[in-house]
Structure 1
C-alpha cells in the first residue's frame, strides 16, 4: 500500500467555500434545510441497541437525531439526543429496569406518532412555513415523504434548522389534553 505525501500548510491561509454561498434566512426555500436521504445517508441505529450505547454513538458522531431500524432495515421511529439523556435512563433504572436491558427503542418516537409532509409541498415552501408547522405540531421533528415512491425522503429537525439559521427555535410540546382535543376535531 502506498502512503500519500504530506506537505506543510505554511503558505495556505484561506478555506475553500461552495461556489453558491447560501445566505440562509427564514425566507429561504425549505429544501435547503432538509436532511435529504437521497443526498445524505441517514444516521441510523439498530432497534436492539442499548440506550446507553445509542447515546454514546450519537455523542461520538455529534448528531442530534437518528433513525431507528429493525433487523430487516425497516423504519421503526426516530430518537433524538434529548430523548436519551442520562436522567431519563436513570429514571428507567429506578423503575426497576436493568440498565443493560434498556433499549434505544424504549425512548424513540415510534413511526405511528410521527407526522409527515410531502416532498412536493416542501419544494414550494419556505423554511418559515416549516418552522411554523413544527411549532403548531409541538414536535421538533417532521419526516418528509416521497408519496410517488412511497419512501421516507428526509427529515426536518428544529435543532438542525436553528443551527443553520443561527437563531433559536423554540418548539413547545403540546399537552395531552391539547392533542386529544385536536384529534377529536
Structure 2
C-alpha cells in the first residue's frame, strides 16, 4: 500500500470549473452555449411571488432571469433583474399599488411578447450565429423552443456566452449586447 502525502494549500488561488477547459469560440456549435432543460432544471418562479421577494432571491442566488409560471407550472412569462428594478417598482407605486402588492406577474415580460430560438435550427447554427441574432434583437436572454415536442427546451444567456468564451465582462451594467459582440469579434480576430 502506498502512503500518500497531503500538501499545503497556501499557493492555491481558485477553484477550477468545467468552463475553464471548454474550447468554445464563435465557430463552435450553438448547442454548446445553451442551458438545456433536459440536463439542467429550469429556474422557475411563481407569478404570485412578491416582486421584492423575487429580486432578493435572484440577487442572493446570482440569477438574472427566471421563467414565470402559474398554477400547474404553466409557462406565462420571463422575469429578470431588469424588470424587478427599483425604477419599475416605483412606476407601480406611483399608480397607487402598495410595494407588497406588486407581484412578479405584474412586472414580467409575458410569453406573448417573447421570442425563442427554434431548437432544430439551433442544432445547425454556430455560436457566432447566436451572438449575431442576440445583438440584432438586443436580448440578454432567449428561450429555445422544441417545436416538434411543443415545449421550452432551454435558454441562452449572454452572461453564459461571455463566461464560456472566457470573456471578462460585467453584463449586469447597462451594457448593450452590441458591445459584447464587438469584444467577441476583437478577441476572435486577434487569435
Q: TM class, shorter-chain normalised?
A: 0.7 to 0.9
1:64 to partner: Cα distance: 1.0
The residue aligned with 1:89 is: 89
**Stretches of structure 1 lacking an aligned partner (at least 5 in a row):** 1-8, 173-185
**TM-score (norm: length of structure 1):** 0.78
Confirm or deny that 1:164 pairs with 2:164: yes
Output the CA distance in 2 between the equivalents of 1:131 and 1:72: 34
**Stretches of structure 2 lacking an aligned partner (at least 5 in a row):** 1-5, 170-174, 179-191
Local SS of the residue matching 2:117: strand
What is the CA RMSD across the aligned residues, in angstroms? 2.4
Local SS of the residue matching 2:125: coil
The residue aligned with 1:104 is: 104
Contact 1:64 1:159 in 2 (8 A): no
1:69-116 per-position Cα deviation (integer Å, ceiling 9, x unaligned): 002110001111111112221222122111011011111111111112
The residue aligned with 2:76 is: 76
1:36-185 to 2 correspondences below 5 Å? 36-165=36-165, 166=167, 170-171=176-177
1:116-173 per-position Cα deviation (integer Å, ceiling 9, x unaligned): 221111111111111111122233222111122111000112233223321657337x
Confirm or deny that 1:23 pairs with 2:23: yes
Contact 1:37 1:153 in 2 (8 A): yes
Output the CA distance in 1 between the equivalents of 2:141 and 2:134: 7
1:17 to partner: Cα distance: 5.8
Local SS of the residue matching 1:105: helix
Contact 1:46 1:69 in 2 (8 A): yes
Contact 2:68 2:75 in 1 (8 A): yes
Alignment size in residue pairs: 164
After TM superposition, the structure 1 stretch with the greater mean CA deviation from structure 2, 160-169 or 68-77, is: 160-169
Change (3 A) 1:151 1:93: same
**TM-score (norm: length of structure 2):** 0.76
1:48 to partner: Cα distance: 0.4
Local SS of the residue matching 1:162: helix
